[in-house]
Amino acid sequence: ADGELVQYHYGLKDLVTILFYIFIAIILHAVVQEYALDKINRRLHLSKVKHSKFNESGQLVAFHLSSVIWCLYVVVTEGYISNPRSLWENYPHVYLPFQVKFFYLCQLAYWLHALPELYFQKVRKEEIPRQLRCIALYLVHIAGAYLLNLTRLGLILLLLQYLAEFFFHMARLVYFTDENNEKLFNVWAVVFVVTRLFTLTLYILVIGFGLPRVESQALDPERGNFFSFLFNNILFRMSVLLLVCLFQASVMWRFIHFQLRRWREYWNEQSSRKRVAATTGTKQQTKPLKRDSGYHENGVVKAENGTSPRTKKLKSP
């Protein structure tokens, strides 16, 4: 009421809040599964493998869509997009607005809830290592941004990452319903490349030019200053940028390899269809025509002896 702005810092009580929202996430997960995904699965009659992938993509579509909308609202209202300098100005960003802190706690709760969901959803053993690796990467990056006071940069990176993931899992859902429809995969490919370029540009902007210009360059863990004194060293700064570029290059290489394999399979399928169609057409042309016995006269078929080919009607006794 007095116009006082209340801000928050992280602490041990966050663990209790995260635990509470883990249970909320489990309940929401069950609601989406029961009232949406299970009903669609009954109509599609998918195999066990596709059924598991459909459930995974369905849950992630709901999560990524809500997270993209929420994250976009936060970065717009806080002015992080309109003022890119705010990503590194006044670092460290120890005190957070309520909506930023609440967003990070909910993100941590969701990815932690995904661990018991591997048991509840009866995920196949072959899929568990991949999903554990994905969950661990998200937890490390989100918790790192939250604890190391890089929350503003983390928000923009999460927005880009979730946007690409939303289109990917949406394309999978459409593909499971209609295997001939792969248009959304092309949309995802474009969004993925654009988000990778924005991510790399953002890293270079913040790490290469932003953090080295921070006024406080001394290591001060009590104030949350962990990085600025390191980025003042040009050798360390270039090493970090090189690692970031190599990581993004490896991601793009896997993406290009996946796209090339997908296009190769598509063209092989198209060429095999054309080959089958050409072979079928040739067989139909070379197939001998059946000729009726006898000859035609004025459009009427006559037998060889000149009699009509029609059978005589037997008189009833």
Please write the tens of the pLDDT for every residue from 129-142. 999 999 999 999 99
pLDDT for the residue 240:
80
pLDDT for the residue 295:
46
Pairwise CA distance, residues 172 & 184, whole Å:
8
Percentage of the chain with pLDDT > 70? 81
Asked whether the beta carbons of 93 and 152 are under 8 A apart, the reply is: yes
**Which of 6-15, 60-69, 155-164, 225-234 has the lowest average pLDDT?**
225-234
Amino acid at 184: L
Q: Each residue of 245-288: pLDDT tens digit?
A: 898 888 889 888 888 887 888 788 778 878 887 777 666 665 55
- Give the Cα-Cα-Cα angle 220, 222, 226 (nearest 5 degrees): 45
Q: Which two tokens stand for residue 105?
A: 């706690």
CA distances (Å), origin 150, targets 18, 92, 294, 298: 19, 8, 94, 94
Percentage of the chain with pLDDT > 90? 41
Amino acid at 248: Q
pLDDT for the residue 296:
47
CA distances (Å), origin 18, targets 11, 15, 102, 197, 224: 12, 5, 10, 33, 22
Mean pLDDT (the chain) is 83
